[in-house]
Amino acid sequence: MAFGSFDNRNSGSALSEINMVPLIDVMLVLLVIFLITAPLLSHSIKIQLPQASSEPIQQDPKTIDLAIDAAGQIFVNEQLVALEDLAATLAPYSKEQPQPELRIRADTDTRYETLAQVMSRSKASGLTRLGFITRPGPTTQAPVQEGDAQKGPSTGETTGKPAPAL
């Protein structure tokens, strides 16, 4: 402790240092106490939540099939419709509740201009739900060239055959 020394020469002056070790010990003990008791002080309120069934409602979604062939002809539910009459043909469907989904099938050779006009006129008729029908193509893999050699599965030797496509 730093109260003074046994030297009589400086006996009249007071020592102005504060010993910080006991203060640090008290602070560490308080910190440990707060860390232990803090999780115990969490308050919880018990409430009863409403219960709901997880069964989906059986409802047949209504759809409108719109097909565009390579020549630009438009078919609504397999009936030929002119592009100018498309908005008038689709307008009664937009008043139904719930509104049916317009599913567009377009040929791969259909012009983008025709497809954009169909989408614009379907929006002008009041339909808000629009979807596209596509056909899944074959998965694309990196092509294997004839000169590529493949290592054998166990011996590590090359077979001279191209690697099989995965």
What pLDDT, on a 0 to 100 scale, did the predictor assign at position 109? 87
pLDDT in tens, 62-71: 899 999 998 8
Between CA 72 and CA 85 the distance in angstroms is 14
What pLDDT, on a 0 to 100 scale, did the predictor assign at position 76? 93
Q: What is the DSSP string of 8-31?
A: STTTTSPP-----HHHHHHHHHHH
pLDDT, averaged across the chain: 78
pLDDT in tens, 63-93: 999 999 988 899 999 999 999 999 999 999 9
* 8 A C-beta contact, residue 76 and residue 65: yes
Closest CA to 132 of 95, 98, 107, 99: 107
Torsion of CA 101, 106, 112, 114, to 10 degrees: -80
How confident is residue 9, by pLDDT bands cut at 50, 70 and 90?
low
Residue 104 has phi, psi (to 5 degrees) of -100, 125
